[in-house]
Amino acid sequence: MRASAICLAGVCDNLSNPRHVARMNPSLPARLFSLRSWIVALSIALPLLVLVRQGQDANWDLRNYHLYNPHAWLHGRLAIDIAPAQLQSWHNPLLDLPFYLMAQAGWPGLVVSLWLTLPFIVSLYCLLRIQQRMTGGGATRIGAVALAAIAITGAATHPSLGTTLNDGFVAAVAMASLFLLLRRDAPKPSDWLWAGVLGGAMAGLKLTAAIYCLGLAGAALVACRWQDAPKRLAMLMLGGIAGFILTYGYWGWTVQQMHGNPMFPYFNQIFHSPGALPTAHADARFRPQTLIDALLTPFRLLQMSNRYSELELRDPRLLTGIVCFPLLLWLGKHWPEHKEKLRMLAAFFFVSLVVWLYLYGIYRYALPLEMLAALPLVLLLQRLPQPWARIALIVAALAFVKVTIRPDWNHTRFTTPMVQVDMPTLPVGSMLVVSSQEPLAYALLAIADDVPVVSIYNNFMIPERCTGLQAQAERRIASHQGPLWLLRTPSEADDVGETIARQYGLTSAGCQQVPTSLGELRLCRLQHRPAPIACQVPAPAPGR
């Protein structure tokens, strides 16, 4: 390879030195093997260090639906419970199934957490292999360390590692799809097909992953010859549809049969299920409201705020990607053998970024972009002459780690079993009522399968809305003849739930403590007095 082909803006790396090449070439296979082993070691060691430091997951979503949804699916509770996991009660349980089975089997929290860390190991490995492909023989250990350190310590990646938030699985599939497409000089049609299968399957498991399916479509548009773009898009779409049907088909059919909306309660402005309001039920709290808001997003992320997250964070990585990808493309004339790969990576990054901003703006959903954003910076710094390249990489890694402020989604020390609930046995014929904005559904795994759970107030069930499900909950409580119980937290905020319960003629007759490994709960016996039925919406017809 000529020196001019491996120079960047007139600055050549060490391989442009013939004497260095002569010294390296005889041991190049051994060096590449050593570098690949180094990549494997980094991909495993860094996530495990983060996991040990953070501890065991105890986030809001885990308490709310990551345990309950697979349990309800396997134990037939879908037909008897009403929204105990709030808006998320109908999320596809398939992705959470391994975690649920491990937790239910009483496995140690550390072992379960290793499963939840696996997607981050895969993501980091694929990212470092992409880096290796983009630098060839010029890849260095210090470059891999810098990229790994920046990628794993982001405000989305670091706190999500080892948790049930599942954004790590999205990142693993996104990075694996990119590596699949970049591992050859020119991707084959079958590569696009399998990338589509991976992306579509992930979108079926977690709908927010659709962001990165569109990012792959952007990569397909700019790859190779423009004339072949329709063929690439067709293969990608075919694989995506197949993957989505594979992972979401059965669940979508199940929810359609129950509520008349295969994605209930989302997109209900299209499907008009009587069980929910005819709205999208999308979280628009963090979505930019104007084009100016969207353009300012990467700069606003340089300041600590909760503009893009429930908890405060600060992270410069997206801005780094926005600046460095175009710079790398502009300098690509000095890097012709990788120009096509750069176009694909940049298209994936920017298309995904625009879709993320338009649909969500929730920072942790940008986790794959956060990991990828450091790649162009590291590729640029690796092209500096030694020892400046090594110094710049170290300084960059330390600077990113230092300036980033990461939210904590709630962690605890490792326990065995990971989740434990000491729920008393409820009398035969009981019904459990939930009236709380707090995530309580994890505790429902400890009650008998014949005890129905009816939620009357949470982030989805609001009495004033008077939807079909709200009317059904009201009727079922009014007609129930057996013992009634209320599950709540000791928090004063749950006093609001008891106040709302009184609208249904339910008053507390004393509470007892329910110890759990995720905090104390209260189980209250309810007295039922007749109350007027305010919500008169007809119940959904069978098969809807």
In the three-class reduction of DSSP (H, G, I as helix; E, B as strand; rest coil), residue 429 is classed as coil
Q: Examine the pLDDT at 15 and tell me if it is beyond 80.
A: no
pLDDT at site 138: 61
Q: Examine the pLDDT at 323 and tell me if it is beyond 50.
A: yes
Q: Band of the pLDDT at 407, cuts 50, 70, 90?
A: very high
**197 vs 173: CA distance, rounded Å:** 10
Reading the block at residue 487, the tokens are 């599950």
- Can you spell out the DSSP letters for 146-169? HHHHHHHTSTTHHHHTTSTT-HHH
In this predicted model, what pLDDT tens digit does every residue of 412-432 receive, in sequence order?
999 999 999 999 999 999 999
pLDDT at site 186: 85
User: Which of 63-67, 144-148, 527-531 has the least mean pLDDT?
Assistant: 527-531
Reading the block at residue 48, the tokens are 């495990």
Tell me if 439 sits within 8 A of 64, measured CB to CB.
yes
Q: Band of the pLDDT at 1, cuts 50, 70, 90?
A: very low
Tell me if 488 sits within 8 A of 494, measured CB to CB.
yes
In the three-class reduction of DSSP (H, G, I as helix; E, B as strand; rest coil), residue 312 is classed as coil
- State how far the alpha carbon of 361 is from the alpha carbons of 46, 182, 288, 348, 459, in Å: 28, 28, 7, 17, 20
In the three-class reduction of DSSP (H, G, I as helix; E, B as strand; rest coil), residue 432 is classed as strand
**130 vs 179: CA distance, rounded Å:** 6
Tell me if 220 sits within 8 A of 232, measured CB to CB.
yes
Strand partners, 435: 457
**426 vs 423: CA distance, rounded Å:** 9
Tell me if 404 sits within 8 A of 156, measured CB to CB.
no
Find the mean pLDDT for residues 9-16: 37
Q: Which residue has the higher pLDDT, 177 or 530?
A: 177
In this predicted model, what pLDDT tens digit does every residue of 352-384 receive, in sequence order?
999 999 999 999 999 999 999 999 999 999 988
Closest by CA to 134, choosing from 321, 348, 317, 380, is 380
Question: CA 211, 214, 215: angle at the middle one, nearest 5?
Answer: 85
Question: CA 108, 516, 450: angle at the middle one, nearest 5?
Answer: 100
Closest by CA to 472, choosing from 544, 417, 409, 414, is 544
Count the Cβ atoms, other than its own, within 10 Å of residue 203. Answer: 23
Count the Cβ atoms, other than its own, within 10 Å of residue 284. Answer: 12
Q: Band of the pLDDT at 266, cuts 50, 70, 90?
A: very high
Find the mean pLDDT for residues 456-473: 93
In this predicted model, what pLDDT tens digit does every residue of 127-170 receive, in sequence order?
999 999 888 656 688 999 999 999 999 999 999 999 999 999 99
In this predicted model, what pLDDT tens digit does every residue of 95-122 receive, in sequence order?
999 999 999 999 999 999 999 999 999 9
Q: At residue 412, what are phi and psi to the nearest 5 degrees?
A: -130, 175
**145 vs 141: CA distance, rounded Å:** 6
Tell me if 442 sits within 8 A of 495, measured CB to CB.
no
Domain-by-domain residue ranges, the chain?
3-42+96-403, 55-91+420-544
Estimate to the nearest angstrom the gap between the alpha carbon of 220 and the chain centroid.
Answer: 24
Tell me if 520 sits within 8 A of 536, measured CB to CB.
no
Strand partners, 538: none
Q: At residue 163, what are phi and psi to the nearest 5 degrees?
A: -110, 170
- State how far the alpha carbon of 106 is from the alpha carbons of 54, 85, 448, in Å: 21, 22, 18
pLDDT at site 30: 52
- State how far the alpha carbon of 489 is from the alpha carbons of 59, 367, 511, in Å: 16, 32, 11
Count the Cβ atoms, other than its own, within 10 Å of residue 387. Answer: 8
In this predicted model, what pLDDT tens digit does every residue of 176-229 receive, in sequence order?
999 999 998 889 999 999 999 999 999 999 999 999 999 999 999 998 888 899
* Helix%, strand%, coil% for the chain, nearest 5: 60, 10, 30
Tell me if 309 sits within 8 A of 370, measured CB to CB.
no
**382 vs 139: CA distance, rounded Å:** 8
Q: Examine the pLDDT at 2 and tell me if it is beyond 90.
A: no
Q: Could you identify the residue written with the tokens 């290796």?
A: 132
- State how far the alpha carbon of 213 is from the alpha carbons of 171, 196, 237, 284, in Å: 12, 7, 9, 21
C-alpha dihedral, 389 to 392 to 394 to 398, nearest 10°: -160
